[in-house]
Structure 1
Amino acid sequence: MSNSDSESPLIHTIGHRDNYGSTQFTSGTSQDDEAIDRRPNVPGFVANNAGMLYIISSQFFFACMNLSVKMLNSSDPPVHPFEVIVVRTGITLICCVIYMIVTGVPDPILGPKGVRTLLVIRGITGFLGLCGLYLSLQYLSVADATVLTFLTPLTTAVAGCILLKEGYSVTQAVAGFCSLLGVVLIARPPFLFNSMPAVIPDIYYLPETTPAQRLAAVGVSMIGVLGATGAYTSIRAIGKRAHPMHVMSFFSLWCTTMASLGMVVFNIPVVYPKSWRWSLLLLMVGAFGFVAQTLLTLGLQRETVSRGSTGVYIQVLFAVVLERLIFGVVPSLLSVLGAAIIVSSALFVVLTKRGPTPVNTADSTA
């Protein structure tokens, strides 16, 4: 059911041979990954699943970042999502540009020729995905927003199959569905579990939300899902034709610019730090976001979006553990069951990865 990536015009629309690792893709690994596989001092399991492990690691830092955002939302006065985006992506942008200038990465501002259009698409869709998530949290419970956000791996898998000609096996579809079921058991959205309390503390709920506001939040969340789908797909299409910092800097630049314009257009006041804790949380949002985006970009450059996006589900497990450690929230039996399903599904996808074969290598040669 797998198709060669060489059939995808999105992946191979370049007019030069410059690359940042390899421009040749297979259904799961690139040629430099295959070279790593042949090194005797690197465990084969880690080498074969480097992309997936990067993605899973990124979800821990995304969970830490979201926890910091939630704590900012509970502050007085609350911080508008646009300001949070400006701070988070602004820090990431500065770090990316400094790194590329210091290390001598070519084209630190404009990016490599041949993929600049894809980099712009990554930046715009990434902003829509981030904005959709943060804005929906204003009128949706964290449980509902989580379930809606985790539609992204399903839509990303379909996009990767259609646009990038990547394979989407039955086992990946089953693992994705099971992971989504696990997310539902942990989040327990009220529209499915009316009589059961959610796992998230009450300080994160907005009980006075009107039906119109809730409907608008769901719509914004769906735009966020589409944006995240475009971001994941464009990262995979760019692959290693651009440095990870190029990908992150374009994302950060567009997010910082568009969120700043949004604050001006909608006359959103800037909330200035009033305590060291407030300032520390903002810095944590930026730092965790930078590390998470770096790991996610590295992972999606090495992994198909259909398979790699499955690792995104692990974020909800990290969220449950962090809430237990920080807020003392004890997960229910359903949460434990959901976490077990998610972990099992992720392990199943990792362990069933097919190693590179000579046939696939030949098919993927550009």
Structure 2
Amino acid sequence: MASRATYTALTPEYAEFPNCVGDVRGSPFSRMEVENAPGTSSSSLRREVSGGQLKEQESDHDEDDDEQGSIQLLDHEDDEQAAVGCVGKTRRGAGRVLGKAKDAVKANTGLLLVAASQLFFSMMNAAVKQLNSIDPPVSTLEVIAVRMSITLVCCIVYMLATKIPDPFLGPKGVRGLLAFRGFIGWFGLFGVYYSLEYLSLSDATVLTFLSPMCTAIAGTIFLGENFTRREAFAGIVSLVGVILIARPTALFGESAHAPQVEKGTPTDRLVAVGVALIGVLGATGAYTTIRAIGKRAHALHSMVFFSTLCVVVSTIGMLATKQPFIIPQRLDWAVLFVLIGIFGFVAQLLLTMGLQRETAGRGSMAIYTQVVFASIFERVFFHAVPSALSVVGTVLILSSAIYVALTKNHYPENGQ
């Protein structure tokens, strides 16, 4: 028979367990033993259990707080990333727009230069108009001679300062073309000024702006350049815009203008129309020759030949017709002459640079923008209010110029 000690050791009811609540919870007899354990009361047990539950609740609250803090931190990081993403998208969008703008300017550099030249031509013409209102009046040949003398001096000084080779004769191989450009260009310049003496401004403007279309045709015939149907359409629309702005009496009647007295007889007017048409041919020849020269000569080489021949031919013309040379007697008279020379120099420089970089047809289309600038200067300096037809004509010209610029690279070179 087993001893009591052995029986006690093998019997679960009397086995000794550690006084650890966590260790006795798993036993089916834990409650009985814990309640009968010496020194352990039910109230202390409840306190321990309550304390454990409180600790567990506090731990759960701490975990919830940590989780909420983590969520808030993630939300803050997401907001920062979203803000950075928006800034990045904005910068990329602005970069794309800027890149497209640069590409557009690069693709239409020649067209923009020609358009800028028309701004300075308009400023020059405004100065000429103001000069004609000052006594004593100045002849057309003297205006050309003085203006081109200032242009010649500016060209030579700039070429010598920048050490451009062959400043007087130009590069070999294109000297004949340079001389022809200068000679034929004089007829274009003289035709404009002479026609203004006997024709109204509107009639002379319409005749002058036949040159862009003639230049496009000449470039196609003599240079084999591309002149698309779209460019021809834009040229016709621009010419319509010029007519709406100029409103020649032959098309719109006397009511389209204020009463205007023209100098000379009907014969003088007929001669002026003929001279204006010769001026159109001269401008056409000058623009086409500049395009033929291209970049084989500096733009200032062309201007040196042009200004030199203009001074020589105008001086000979004044001597042959015995026209007196009027010397400035007033400060504003002299200032206007200087401004005419400077504006003419900048205008010719930009025009030559533009036509060197652009086809004759497209480049000549930008010449129509001169009418827009002239309308603005008439409003600002001479307080002439544009009519509704003038506004429509301006919109047509600008729309055509923008259309030609935007469609340059969209079509193949065969003109289709």
TM-score using structure 1 length: 0.84
- Quick check: 1:243 aligned with 2:298? yes
Equivalences for 1:83-162 in 2 at 5 Å?
83-162=142-221
Q: CA deviation at 1:206?
A: 4.3
Q: Secondary structure at the match of 1:330?
A: coil
Q: CA deviation at 1:191?
A: 1.0
For 2:312, the equivalent position in structure 1 comes to 257
Q: Which amino acid aligns with 2:283?
A: A
Q: Which amino acid aligns with 2:217?
A: V
Q: CA deviation at 1:99?
A: 1.1
- Does structure 1 retain, via aligned residues, the 8 Å contact 2:199–2:262? no
**Which of 223, 232, 254 is the aligned partner of 2:287?**
232
Report the structure number with the largest CA radius of gyration: 2
- Give 1 or 2: higher helix fraction: 2
- Does structure 1 retain, via aligned residues, the 8 Å contact 2:144–2:310? yes
- Quick check: 1:76 aligned with 2:135? yes
Q: Which amino acid aligns with 1:59?
A: Q
Q: Tell me, in whole angstroms, the C-alpha distance in 1 between the residues paired with 2:263 and 2:185.
A: 30
For 1:344, the equivalent position in structure 2 comes to 399
Equivalences for 1:1-366 in 2 at 5 Å?
43-198=102-257, 206-354=261-409
For 1:33, the equivalent position in structure 2 comes to none
Q: Which amino acid aligns with 2:338?
A: L
Q: Which has the higher contact order (CA 8 A, sep 6+)?
A: 1
Q: Which amino acid aligns with 1:265?
A: A
Q: CA deviation at 1:196?
A: 2.6
For residues 215-254 of structure 1, the C-alpha deviation after alignment (integer angstroms, 9 at most, x for no partner) is 0000000010000000000000000000111011100000
Q: Secondary structure at the match of 1:174?
A: helix
Q: Tell me, in whole angstroms, the C-alpha distance in 1 between the residues paired with 2:330 and 2:273.
A: 33
Q: Tell me, in whole angstroms, the C-alpha distance in 1 between the residues paired with 2:234 and 2:145.
A: 35
Q: CA deviation at 1:68?
A: 1.1
Q: Tell me, in whole angstroms, the C-alpha distance in 2 between the residues paired with 1:123 and 1:326.
A: 32
- Does structure 2 retain, via aligned residues, the 8 Å contact 1:48–1:355? no
- Does structure 1 retain, via aligned residues, the 8 Å contact 2:123–2:343? yes
- Does structure 1 retain, via aligned residues, the 8 Å contact 2:197–2:263? no
Residues 343, 41 of structure 1: CA spacing in aligned structure 2 closer, same or farther, 3 A cutoff? Answer: closer
Q: CA deviation at 1:124?
A: 0.5
Q: Which amino acid aligns with 1:339?
A: T
In structure 2, list runs of 5 or more residues that go unmatched: 1-98
- Does structure 1 retain, via aligned residues, the 8 Å contact 2:216–2:360? yes
For residues 16-68 of structure 1, the C-alpha deviation after alignment (integer angstroms, 9 at most, x for no partner) is xxxxxxxxxxxxxxxxxxxxxxxx79810110000000000000100111111
Residues 97, 219 of structure 1: CA spacing in aligned structure 2 closer, same or farther, 3 A cutoff? Answer: same
Q: Which amino acid aligns with 1:248?
A: M
- Does structure 2 retain, via aligned residues, the 8 Å contact 1:138–1:206? no
TM-score using structure 2 length: 0.74
- Does structure 1 retain, via aligned residues, the 8 Å contact 2:181–2:305? yes
Q: CA deviation at 1:91?
A: 0.6
Q: Tell me, in whole angstroms, the C-alpha distance in 2 between the residues paired with 1:185 and 1:267.
A: 39
Q: CA deviation at 1:107?
A: 0.6
- Does structure 2 retain, via aligned residues, the 8 Å contact 1:123–1:251? yes
Q: Tell me, in whole angstroms, the C-alpha distance in 1 between the residues paired with 2:233 and 2:100.
A: 34
Q: CA deviation at 1:100?
A: 1.1
Q: Which amino acid aligns with 1:226?
A: L
Q: CA deviation at 1:207?
A: 2.9
- Does structure 2 retain, via aligned residues, the 8 Å contact 1:150–1:180? yes
Q: CA deviation at 1:356?
A: 10
Q: Which amino acid aligns with 1:186?
A: I
Q: Secondary structure at the match of 1:138?
A: helix
Q: Which amino acid aligns with 2:394?
A: A
Q: CA deviation at 1:197?
A: 3.3
For residues 136-166 of structure 1, the C-alpha deviation after alignment (integer angstroms, 9 at most, x for no partner) is 1110011100000000011101100000000
Q: Tell me, in whole angstroms, the C-alpha distance in 2 between the residues paired with 1:334 and 1:144.
A: 16
Give the share of equivalent positions with the same residue, in percent. 53
- Does structure 1 retain, via aligned residues, the 8 Å contact 2:141–2:315? yes
Q: Secondary structure at the match of 1:107?
A: coil
Q: CA deviation at 1:101?
A: 1.2
- Does structure 2 retain, via aligned residues, the 8 Å contact 1:139–1:206? no
